[in-house]
Amino acid sequence: MSLSYEIENNGAWQTYLAQVDRVAPYLEADLIPYINTLKRPKRALIVDVPIVMDDGAIQHFEGYRVQHNLSRGPGKGGIRYHPDVELNEVMALSAWMTIKTAVLNLPYGGAKGGIRVDPKKLSARELERLTRRFTSEISPIIGPQNDIPAPDVGTNADIMGWMMDTYSSIKGHTVTGVVTGKPVHLGGSLGRVRATGRGVFVTGLEVAKKINLSIENSRVAVQGFGNVGSEAAYLFNKANAKVVCAQDHTGTIFNDDGLDVKSLQEHVAQTGGVAGFPDSSKIEDAEFWNVEMDILVPAALEGQITAERAQTLKAKLVLEGANGPTYPDADDVLGQRNIIVVPDVLCNAGGVTVSYFEWVQDMSSYFWTEDEINARLDKLMIQAVDDVWKKAQEKSCTMRTAAYILACERILKARKERGIFPG
Ligand code: NAD
């Protein structure tokens, strides 16, 4: 299928294009001639990844690396191993990374990659062979100054370690900065694992101040109690908020006085889910959306807040830990009801921000303490909240639209100032 076909006919990519079109009327006239820069990926590489399976058979997998935009710096974005990975989805995900890095004002563009594979069906050796061959195939376009992959769905720190080793073998010397999300002893950063949940909390705290919502004794409901949701819940609990409800794939639990989040984390580590946590009552999953709450943290899946749920939601503030948890029509309802949504491209950017710190540390071979990393993370996230908030006030729009305006302005200004080669 051709790139033009993908550009014109894909769902996720179409969604992204619609977002750009929505922002266009807010942009300064001098940036409009450059807007098509955002509507096409700069570079898309499709690779064949053949590997010898443990039984001796040869299997071929299809892999991708898309660099959506490099106007502000090297590409940055995860590698996904999933049976549904396809070019159009990777294109959309790469574009959203361009937006996210620009909202945080990180010196990066946006990229994304993946392999259409079910990693659970491969042995550890097969997974390593797949990763190494894929890295070799995309090595002409990645690199610490070109494009820096990271973990995403179906990939992890071990896979990043193999990618770093393969790329380094090709170059003939160790290149730690080619990927982020590596194990800490291989040049990974302290604080990375908890960074996204921390960013959700920090952005929430900052916006709460702006809308005069006191965190102390506020009621928080968290959907998803994994990496992102559990850390955000922990920090809210530590700040004396009451985490009254938590939902994951095992069920929904409630305590009107607030759950003890530290004990809940231990329970989830032991049992695999929130269900059966002592000192809580089980409620129907659908009831999650009707709980009395001030703050909602969707930190599980996309497409969770429908227009119907938005009509009755009691929250004053929604913190999008997950990517894409709110449908566009639900967004409109929340806006009409004056419920503030801190959009995913800002709220869950703590992970990519600490990935940036990992890259900076790798490039200087000088490593920071976790306290230093958290302090720098908080500073950048607070700055980004302020930037987006100001833009929303200036343009009288939601924080999501403001984040997109800010990002598109930054990307297109860079494009304009660099000019179009060969001029
Ligand atoms: P995770 O796998 O650690 O946790 C996912 C959680 O969602 C689990 O608690 C799981 O039980 C729950 N869940 C799954 N199906 C559910 C269902 N049907 N109903 C309710 N809960 C369900 O994942 P994570 O790393 O915490 O990521 C969560 C979200 O945040 C994803 O959308 C991810 O893309 C996004 N995100 C994560 C990061 C990061 O650094 N981890 C960064 C940016 C965005």
Q: Are 68 and 7 a contacting pair, CB within 8 Å?
A: no
Q: How does pLDDT run across 251-268, given as a tens digit for each residue?
A: 999 999 999 999 999 999
**Residue-by-residue DSSP string for 231-255:** HHHHHHHHTT-EEEEEEETTEEEE-
Is the pLDDT assigned to residue 238 strictly greater than 70? yes
pLDDT at 6 over 80: no
Confidence of residue 10 (pLDDT cuts 50, 70, 90): low
pLDDT in tens, 195-206: 999 999 999 999
Quickly count: other Cβ atoms within 10 Å of residue 370's Cβ. 12
- Residue limits of CATH 3.40.50.720 in the chain: 193-346
As a whole number, mean pLDDT of residues 109-136 equals: 98
Higher pLDDT, 116 or 329: 116
What are the residue ranges of CATH 3.40.50.10860 in the chain? Answer: 41-174
State pLDDT tens for residues 382-411.
Answer: 999 999 999 999 999 999 999 999 999 999
Instruction: Report CA-CA distances (Å) from 2 to 6, 10, 14, 87, 334.
Output: 6, 12, 16, 10, 38
CA of 108 to the centre of ligand 1 (A): 25
Confidence band for 177, pLDDT divided at 50, 70 and 90? very high
Q: What distance in Å separates the CA atoms of residue 297 and residue 116, rounded to the nearest whole number?
A: 30
Residues sharing a CB contact under 8 Å with residue 12, sequence separation 6 or more, in sequence order: 88, 89, 91, 92, 93
- Rounded to an integer, what distance in angstroms lies between the CA atom of residue 389 and that of residue 368? 30
Split at pLDDT 50, 70, 90, the class of 9 is: low
pLDDT at 234: 98
Judge whether 355 is annotated as a binding position: yes
Distance 145 CA to ligand 1 centre (A): 30
Whether residue 110 is predicted with pLDDT greater than 60 in this model: the reply is yes
Ligand 1 atom nearest to CA at 195: 40
- The fold adopted by the segment(s) 41-174 is Rossmann fold (3.40.50)
Pairing state between β 219-223 and 295-298:
parallel
pLDDT given at position 104: 98
Tokens of 58: 């040869």
Is 227 a known ligand-binding residue?
Answer: yes
Question: What fold, for 193-346?
Answer: Rossmann fold (3.40.50)
User: Where in the sequence numbering do the catalytic residues fall?
Assistant: 112
Q: What pTM was estimated for this model as a whole? A: 0.95
Cα 51 to middle of ligand 1, angstroms:
30
Residue 180 has pLDDT above 70, yes or no: yes
Within 6 A (CB) of ligand 1 lie: 196, 223-229, 247-249, 299-301, 321-323, 348, 351
Mean pLDDT of 47-56: 98
Q: Quick one: pLDDT at residue 15?
A: 85
* pLDDT for residue 4 is more than 60: no
Q: Report, as an integer, the average pLDDT of 340-368.
A: 98
Q: What is the average pLDDT across 325-333?
A: 92
Which whole number is the average pLDDT over 122-140?
98
Structure confidence by residue, pLDDT tens digits, 273-311: 999 999 999 999 999 999 999 999 999 988 899 999 999
The answer to whether the annotation marks 120 as part of a ligand binding site is: no
Model confidence at 34, pLDDT cuts 50, 70, 90, reads very high
Categorize the per-residue pLDDT at 1 as very low, low, confident or very high, splitting at 50, 70 and 90: very low
Dump pLDDT digits (tens) for 80-99. Answer: 999 999 999 999 999 999 99
**Protein residue with its CA nearest to atom 20 in ligand 1:** 248
pLDDT for 157 beyond 50: yes
3-state secondary structure of 335: helix
Q: Distance of CA 370 to CAs 8, 21, 147, 236, Å?
A: 45, 40, 25, 19
**Percent share of the chain, pLDDT over 70:** 98
* Ligand 1 center–CA 230 separation, angstroms: 10
Give percent helix, percent strand, percent coil of the chain, each to the nearest 5.
Answer: 50, 15, 30
Is residue 41 predicted with pLDDT exceeding 70?
Answer: yes
Mean pLDDT (the chain) is 96
